Structure formats: structure tokens, C-alpha cells
Amino acid sequence: MCLSQHFSTYLVQGLANGFLYALIALGYTLVYGVLQLINFAHSEVFMAGGFGGVLVANHVTHGQPHGFMSVLIVVAGLLGGGIVGAATAFVLERVAYRPLRRRNAPKLAYLISAIGASFFLQTMAGKEFGRNGYDIAPAYTNGTVFTIFGAQVQTIDLVFAGAGIAMMLLLDRIVAKTRLGQGIRAVAQDADTAGLMGVNIDRVIAVTFILGGLLGGAAGYLFGTLNGVSYTMGTVPGIKAFTAAVLGGIGNIRGAVLGGLLLGVVESLAISCINTDWTDVISFIVLVLVLLVRPTGLLGERLGRSA
Amino acid sequence: MRTGRSLRLVAPLALAAIAATACGSSSSGGSGNGGGSGSGSEPTFTIAYQGPLSGGNQQLGLNMSYAVKLAINQANAGTTFGTLPFKLAFAQEDDQGSSTAAPAAVAKILQISNLIAVVGPAFSGATAASEPAYSKADVATVSPSATDPTLATSGWHNFFRVVADDDAQGPADAQYMAKTAGLKKVYVIDDASTYGAGLAKAFVGAASGDGLTVVKHDTAPGTTQCQAGSGNVQQYGPLAQKVKQSGADSVFYAGYYCDFALLAKQLRSAGFTGQLVSDDGSNDPHYVSSAGASVANGTLLSCACQETITSPGFKAFAPQFKSLAGFASGTYSAEAYDATNAIIDAMKSLGANPTKAGVISALHSPGFSYQGISKTVKFAANGNYAGSAVYMYKVENGTIKELGLIGASS
Amino acid sequence: MSAASAPVAVRRPGLLASPHLKRLLTCLMVGVVLALLTGKSGSNQHPASGITGTFKSANAYVWIAAGAVLWAAITGWQWRGVAVAETYRGLSARPRAVWAMRPVRYPSYAVLLLAAIIVPNWLNGFWQEVLVGQIAPYVLLAIGLNVVVGFAGLLDLGYIAFYAVGAYSAAYWTNQLPAHPPFTVNVFWAFPLAVVAAMLAGVILGAPTLRLRGDYLAIVTLGFGEIIQLVAANSKSVTNGSEGVAPNSVPNFSFHALGIHYTWPLEVLPGGHMPWYYLILGIIVVVVILFHLLENSRVGRAWVAIREDEVAAEACGINPLKYKVMAFAIGASTSGLAGVFFASKTGVFDPSSFPFQQSVVVLVLVIFGGMGSLPGAIIGAAVLQYLPQLLRSHIQQPDLYAYYGVILIAMMIFRPQGVWPSRRRAREIAQAEAGVGGADALGAPGAAP
């Protein structure tokens, strides 16, 4: 009964959330593809992007922007968030991962180092910028753009979807067509052989982190326009996005997108049916079940093969 | 053998640790004694403040701690109580507002040899974890802000508070919504915190008696966005749709301002036009600034506190607070000031040599009454504030305006 | 250095690749990080004030200078490296040889234990509270997690969930929850009951998930920790939901038998905490002895085998899943023990008393002390739980997590075996880094590292 009523409304809500999950999930998936490593600190890259977005967007926004100005501000915010996110991811790789890779450390060491980086970044953001939230000045007037099957689609939903789709297409093309993408796929398939073939593995890994950071940081800005930015904002979206990445098949770019959208919709529908407090339990149960029943995810997990 | 090498590394560390501990303990004991007998004829007593002095709730803690400090300064200067036969000292300890960090803070405070009473603990969970030790040590604690009803019924003879508890606030809100605001159907949401869940329960329990139908009591865990909880901020979009479709004409949110602002934004964005009502946790200027004035305007916020107080005492208090603290007084500043002065008043009645146990019985004595700046401080037998003091506020043109006292006296 | 000697050879990549310059940059960066850590905090009103305030104070430059001095020390050390290493080895050989002798080692343990019994009596009430409330329970938690992370090589990020299981078990069996037990027992009986409950929870979680690749396991345990917290918060009719256990409800430990009636007092008077301390010290001693025996038993050797090479271990007839589940359950039950103690001592808790951060804090203690090393876990917990209280007035408590983060990264980079390593674990890490064998049970079964 709960599903039939206003189904489309919840679907739209879920898709808007899903695009965010997907953007963050891509960061997990890219890094996992080349390093077979869960970048635990990716949630803080997302958070850093949020702060970058605040900085840029609040600097360029004056009054209530309209029309073309709004588009410019959104693009500036995405870039600001993306660049700060990319920089954070780059430094993260340099400081927390590369020394371990040099030493060929056991996998446990990477995970622990990543958790440490996550704690450090989160706490320092709170210490330096204050522990209350920041708000991003609205770049556009939110309102209902059109109604489809009874669901009101708002400007913000379209911005999420538009920005999400544009960035994902760009990433997909980069990985599929460019020389850089070729390098990423080669390292993902077999790092040692790729190294022997003359691929600069360090560079490919750094670029992978930067790409993931760009998307995660841009997602941080988008998220911030809706919910504000605070130092703890990364934790839950990070876990959700990881769930999404696993759901779609970690290491698989299209899988991450599918997983993100699916998780967003499942959560939204769950809220419509049961008490809100159980939805997080549901998404964790989805995670555990997927890992147990089909650990390779819905679309399989190799970046090298399916991208 | 396998530990030999690192033994050399660790042994000095351990020695240093023991040395530091020993030094720490001896120095703190020494300074405490010195303080007690240092000022010659007049003995010195310490009133300590315990509350969150770091982290996300730091501002709330500072609002209170500076008020305590101000009250002590004024008493020492003789402006509030005339010449006292003793001097007062101020101390503060950070419990982060959490029940797990509180016992260490309590132990630290109890090391003060001339301790006479405590203002605080600020938060309910921390209070619950602190009182066993305070009650064993016979230290009166007067909380400016802990509103959990169970605190007064746990059998602590030393527990006092100068705010009305949630059992007073929830029903007062329900009554106001039904009788004064004329609302019929309310959608209740709590934030799954100890505070929010308790308040929502008290609200729901009283609502139907006032003719207010609770359409649904939902729980949306406080989000990580706001440090208060572990919830997912993405829940508010779908939740707002659910509220809109429930046909409720109002929402009562039991929780804190940060999450309430996010929810309010989503509710308005989903097209919900009903009345928004929340509690003292949301009664914060940050609610208006992060939700935006256009969303926040019209919101009703209750509080067991009186902020924009018109009493002459408060008019004198506000500039003095600002010159001491460097920022304007805020939520619970007035209550902390009154709590401190109530303690000093009780001490005064005990003459030149008040004792910790003496303060407790003085506060308990039926005749005890102190005219504070927020209310006349009087205590019921279980330590609760005697009387009801729930005030309603409304957001108008982007600022929180006081509407006045609500609810029947308890 | 090489760049300066021959101008012809000056190439930028060469200069940047110089290990000395790199190390100098690293050391200076460490100085900057420490300066920021210990420096001023910003605020929402003045977001940049933390950073500008830090670098306006002299402290920051002391830290950066300390970084430079560190660099000089390391460089100097390396320069005369051989000689220093020789001297060091010569100096440390003798104590090591002495420590290796059982007639020395076992009396030393006895002396340490005696010190642990007597010395706390001299501490003041605050330090006794720290000992009982902050240090001892975390020592117990660290010893338990050490079995999972250290002995079995599995990463458990939901460890505090079992602590919650223990605490809620204590509340349930003493009839302090909305759900009533079949019979009410003394809190002491909550110990075995909570151990069983936590162990069951460990097996239920472990049996299906331990087949997963190790990094997935980390996430699943994290998810499980969250689920436990959420379920505790949502099941109002069972756990009283987020309102938690009512204040003062879980009774303090008491003993009523053989004509003796004794209740553990809760006072912050000097000595008021000692009965609690002796109780948990007793528990710790028993658990340490048990784990020491376990480490050197068949089970302990199986864990070593799985850690070093799971495929080979399986080929030798060891069932990896069985031993992993066993490690998980043993770790969980230790956590449950600590939970009972916490519940009775604090008397009040709610689901938010068991956040994810606490799981990581326990992990930090184990990593710092040395994975797989019992003394390491104890030292790690004792030192890292002690220092924040010592520096109470200098470090804001919420900033602690940044320090923990730095410790985790620094340990992984510079000393992955911990300050007091187990020799076997240190060797495994060295071997894994050289490409021989593994040092954890995190790889996909059968996959190359």
C-alpha cells in the first residue's frame, strides 16, 4: 500500500539522493579498481569538497542570482568543491598510501592508515573551521519545474541529476578513450605487467585519486547546497556510497552509478513504508546481503574489463 | 628476549608517566589547600561548573560557564549579596556533555579541597553519570539545563535544577498547540536522542487529552551532519513528503536546531504549509540562520528558559555578561547565573563556615527562595524547580520573539 | 648534496628525488601538522583564525624547528649509522639476554603485578577514577581486539558493538530493561551470561561474513556495529530505545554468599575506587593468562598459519573459517566482559554511548602497542588512555581523534609492528614487505598479495 501511494514522488526523491551516492561511489570504485583498496578516507575527501564549495560559492554569490548567473555559480561551486577534493585526495595518497606501497605493506596497514587519515581530516576540519555547520548561499530559486506522474520535479533535483550525469559521462569517456584511461585500465588489470610495459604506475594511481577526488568533492558541494556543510558530513554518505559501489560491483564504473541510484531509491521507498529510523538498518542489511550473496555486485567488479 | 629491545623504549615512558602522575596529584592537592587558607581570615570556597566546554556544544557550555563566573565575581565584589563572610573561587571542568566522559570530570572536580557546590552538569546523560559520585560526596549540584524527568526520581538528595523538566515542557507545548494555536492534527518527529525521545513521549502522552490528534510519531535519528547522531541527512527529503501526505496541519519536532533546520527546509520545499513547532533544543538563532528566514518565520519554539527577559535584573546582567565573556549572553546563561546565585544565597544563610551538606539542606529547606533574573528559584522536594516555567517563542522576521509563559503550573 | 658537488649534474628531478631533501620536507611537514594540532582552534565566525592564530604564535615555529632537528638527527644517525647501530646492538644485547632467562622473566612479571596492586593506592581520587573508568576497561578491550586483529589478522571495525551487547546483557539480566528476563540475577552472573551473548553475537556475525575478503569484512563489521546501535535505539520495547537505561539502575557489583555481604562502593574519595580496580585487575590478569596460553596453543599456531599463508594453512588441514570465527568470538566475549563492568560502574548508558569512533579508538590502542603482542596491547591502552587525562587542560577532548589519526598513519608508515611488538608479528611484516608470505588474513583466499 505504501508503495502504490505517491510512488513517483519517492522515486524522484530517491533518484536525486542516488545521484549523490553515485558520484561519491565513483571515487571508491576508481581507487579500488587500481589498488584493490577501500579508500576509507574518501568520505573526508567529500567533506573537504563541501568546504571548498562553501568557500567558492559564498564568495561569488551576491544577492539572489537568476538565469545564466545561477548556472555559472553552480559550475564554480562544482569546480571549487572538485578542486579542493582532488587536492585532498592527492595529498592523502602521497602521505597515507604511497609510503606503504613503497614498502609493499600488508593490506591491513592500508586500511588502518586510511582510517587514521579519515579521523585526522575530519577532526582537523572541525578544529580549524568550527564545529557548527556552514550554509551555502543559494545559487538559484528552487521551485517545481514540472510534474510527472504526480511527482513534482524541482530545480534542485534537476541540478543534481544534470551535474551527476555530465560528470559521469565525462569520466566514462576519460577512462574509455584517453591515454590516461588506458593507463588506469592497464594498472587495474595487472599492475606489474603494466609497469613492465612502461606505464608509470605512481602517476596513474595519483591521477586516479585526483579523478575520484574531483567527483567526490563536486558531490560535496552539491550535498552542501541542500544540507549545509559540516566537518562530520562525510561519514554516513561515505558508508552509503561504499554500499552503492559494492552493490553495483566495486571497481566497475557503471556499476557504481547503478548501485548509487538503486540505493537512493530503495532508501526513499523504505522511508515511505516504515518508520524513518529503520531505513539505515535496511541499507546496512542490503550491504551485508549483497556481500554475502553476490560479493562481486550486480555488474561484476573489474574496472579493466567492463569500463 | 623478544621484548628486550622495546623494554628500553617503554621503561622511560612508564617512569615518566608515573612521575608525572605523582607530580600532578601532589601539585593539585597543594594548590587546593593553599586556596583554602590563603586569604587569611576569610575562608575561600570553590563553586565549579561542569558542562561541555569543547566540541559541538561548546557555545552552550560557554554561555553557562561565563554566567557562573560573573555571579562569583559579583559576589566577591559585594555587589549582589553585600559583604560575605567568605570568598568564592571559580573552577570549570569539561565533560563534553557525554555520560562516558563525565565520571573523570566529576573526579577532577571532587579533587578541589574547598569545593562547596557545583553548577551543572549541563546535559542529562552526563548528569545521570555524575550524580552517584556527587551524592556520595554530599555535593549539591544545581543544573541550569538538564531536563530529563528521571533525574529527579533517581533518589539523589543533592540534585537540583532551575529549569522545568521535559514532563512540563511536552504537555505545555501540546496544550498551547491545541488551545491557543488551534491546531488539530500533529505529526510528531523525534531525533532518537535521549532528550528528543523523552520529550516526544511526554508530548504524545498529553496531546490527545488536549484534543490534538497525533497522526504519527516518527523517529528520524539526528544526523551526522549535526554531530548529534548517526543518522543519514538524506532521510529528510522523503520524510518531508511523508509528512505532507499525512494530512497533518502541524509538525512537532523534538530534537536540536541543526537537524530541525534541515527538516524544516525540506518540509517547505515539499510544499508543507502547516505550523512548525519545536523545543528548547531548537530555540537557537542558528535555527533561523541555517533554515533561512523565509522557512523559519512563523515557527513556534518552546523553552523552559527565558532568554529575552524583561526583568530589571536581566537588563543589568546582559551588558555585564558581554563585557566579561566577549559575546552576548545566550541560551541558559540566565539560568546558570540564577543557579550560581541560589547556591551563594544558600551559603550566605549558613554564615561564615558553610559546609557542602549544609548547602544541600539549605537548598532543600521549604523556606528557600531566591529572586533570580529568570525566575524565582524554589525547589520541590525531589530537587525539581518548583513551578512551571515554559515559555513560548515565535520566529518573526528572522528573529526569535518571546510570546510569554505557557502551560498550567505543575 | 650530490647536486651541490657537481653543477653539471644538477637536474630538478634528481634534486627532488634526493632522499635527504625528501626527508627534510617530510620532517618539516610533520612539524607543521603538529603545530596545527596543538595550535589554536578556529570557529564558525572566524574560520581562518585557527590557522592564522597558530602561525602567529611562537609555538608553531618551535614545532617546525623540532621537525628540522629531527631531520638533522636522523641524517646524522644514518651517516654514522653502522657505528651507532653496532653500539646499540651491543648495549641492548645484555638486557635482552637477561630478560630471556626465565628465572628473571617470571619474577619480573610478579613484581609488575605487585606494583599494579600496590601503586594505585597512592594515587588521588581523580587518577583512581581514570584508572578504573578510562584505563582498565580499555586495557581489557584492547586485549580482546588484539586477538582479532593481532592473532588472527582480521580487521574488526564494529568491536564496540560487543561492548554494547555486554552492557545491555547486564541491564537485561538485572531486570533494568523494558524486556524482562526469565529470572533476575546478581550482576556478577551477568559476566558469564554476557560472555555467552557476546560470543553468540560474534559467531552469528562471523560465520557468514568471515568468508569474505578481509577489506569487505572491515566494512561489514562497521555496518554491524551501526546496526547494533540503531537496533538498540529503535527497539523501544526491548532496550528502552534511545532514552537508554535509566540512571542508577544497573546495580553495582555485590557479593552475597558464605555469610559475606559486600557491595562495591562508588565514591571518589581516596581509595573509593580501589575495590573496582581490584575487580577489573583480577579479570585482566585471568584473561591475559588465558590468552597467553591460547597464543602458544594449537589454536594460536593455526592463527599464525592462516595469517602467513591461508592457502598453505588450508592445505595442511586447518579450517580457516573455523579459526577465524573462533578469534572473532573470543574477541567479542572479552568486549562483552568489559561491557558488563562498564554498565555496573557507570549505571547509565544509551545507544549513543557506543559510537563507531570508540571501535577505532580501541584499534588505535592495539596498533600503537603492537598487533599480536599482549604486553603491547596493555601498554598501548595504558599509555594512550592515560596521556589525554594528563594533558586534560592542554588538549581539547574532541581534538583527540586527530591525534589518534596521526598515530595510526605514523605507526603504519614508521613502525607497523607497534612500540612493543611481538617478535613473530614484526618478522611477518618484514617478510610480507619483502614479498614472502602475508601478515594478515585480509587477502582473498588464494589471491596473491
Mean pLDDT per 10-residue run, chain C (449 residues)? 45 62 85 88 80 85 89 76 59 64 78 90 87 93 94 90 94 88 85 94 86 78 85 85 79 74 64 83 94 92 88 88 93 95 87 88 92 90 91 83 91 85 78 74 44
**Number of CB atoms found within 10 A of residue A195's CB:** 15
Q: Which helix or strand (DSSP H or E) is residue B403 part of?
A: strand B399-406
Quote the mean pLDDT of chain B.
84
The Cα of B224 is separated from the nearest Cα of chain C by a number of Å equal to: 11
Cβ within 8 Å of B, A 109-168? 131-133, 135, 142, 152, 154, 156
**Alpha-carbon gap, residue C166 to C345, rounded angstroms:** 13
Contact across the interface for A271 and B227, Cβ inside 8 Å: no
**Cα distance between residue B166 and residue B201, in whole Å:** 9
The partner residue sitting opposite C420, judged by closest CB among B10, B197, B221, is B10
Q: How many CA atoms lie within 13 A of A168 on its CB side?
A: 27
Cβ contact A12:A285 at 8 Å: no
Interface of B with C in 8-27 (CB under 8 A): 8-10, 13-14, 17-18, 20-22, 24-25
Model confidence at B216: pLDDT above 60: yes
C159-205: per-residue pLDDT in tens?
999 999 999 999 999 888 888 888 888 888 889 999 999 999 999 88
Strands B376-377 and B370-371, sheet pairing:
antiparallel
How far the first Cα of chain C sits from its last, in Å, is: 37
Pairing of strands B300-303, B275-278: parallel
Which chains share 3+ C-beta pairs under 8 angstroms with B? Answer: A, C
What are the residues whose beta carbons fall under 8 Å from the beta carbon of C158, sequence distance 6 or more? C205, C221, C222, C223, C224, C225, C226, C228, C356, C359
How far is the C-alpha of C172 from the C-alpha of C340, rounded, in Å? 11
Strands B115-119 vs B140-143: parallel, antiparallel or unpaired: parallel
In degrees, rounded to 5, the angle at the alpha carbon of residue B324 between the alpha carbons of residues B321 and B329 is: 30
- CB < 8 Å to B54, chain C: 396-399
Is B238 close to A268, i.e. CB distance below 8 A? yes
- Look at the block and give the residue holding cell 502551560: B407
The grid coordinates of residue B190 equal 523525534
How far apart are alpha carbons C204 and C366 in whole angstroms? Answer: 24
Cβ contact A235–B224 (<8 Å): yes
**pLDDT tens-digit readout, B279-324:** 888 888 888 888 888 899 999 998 887 765 667 788 889 899 999 9
Q: What's C270's DSSP letter?
A: T
pTM: 0.87
Percent of chain A at pLDDT > 70 equals 96
Q: Cα separation of B39 and C177, whole Å?
A: 52
Chain mean position to CA A244: 10
Residues of C in contact with B21 (CB under 8 A): 123, 127, 386, 390
> Which runs of consecutive H residues, i.e. helices, occur in B38-159?
58-77, 102-110, 124-136
Closest chain A residue by Cα to residue C395: A127
Answer whether A102 touches C (CB < 8 Å). Answer: no
Q: Among the listed ranges B346-355, B384-393, C71-80, which one has the minimum average pLDDT value?
A: C71-80
**Could you tell me which chain A residue has the CA closest to the CA of B264?**
A227
What are the residues of chain B with a beta carbon less than 8 Å away from any beta carbon of chain A?
55-56, 58-59, 189, 192, 218-221, 223-227, 230-239, 241-242, 245, 258, 262, 269, 271, 286, 289-290, 292
Chain A partners within 8 Å of B224 (Cβ): 232-233, 235-236
All three cell numbers of C98: 637477561
Q: Which of residues 241-270 of A touch B (CB under 8 A)?
A: 264, 267-268
Chains that touch C (3 or more CB pairs under 8 A): A, B
3-state SS string for C317-361: CCCHHHHHHHHHHHHHHHHHHHHHHHHHHHCCCCHHHCCHHHHHH
Instruction: Find, among C110, C138, C131, the residue nearest to C380 by Cα.
Output: C138
B395 residue type, one letter: V
Distance of CA C351 to the CA centre of its chain: 21
The answer to whether C350 contacts B29, with C-beta atoms less than 8 Å apart, is no
Candidates B33, B100, B195, B199, partner chain C, best to mutate (most C CBs within 10 A): B100
Sheet-wide strand order for B275-278: B213-219, B185-190, B250-254, B275-278, B300-303, B390-396, B399-406
* Residue in A closest to C447 by C-alpha: A36
To the nearest whole Å, the CA of A249 is away from the closest chain B CA by: 23
Please answer whether residues A169 and A22 qualify as being in contact, where contact means their C-beta atoms are separated by less than 8 angstroms. no
Q: What is the ipTM of this complex?
A: 0.90
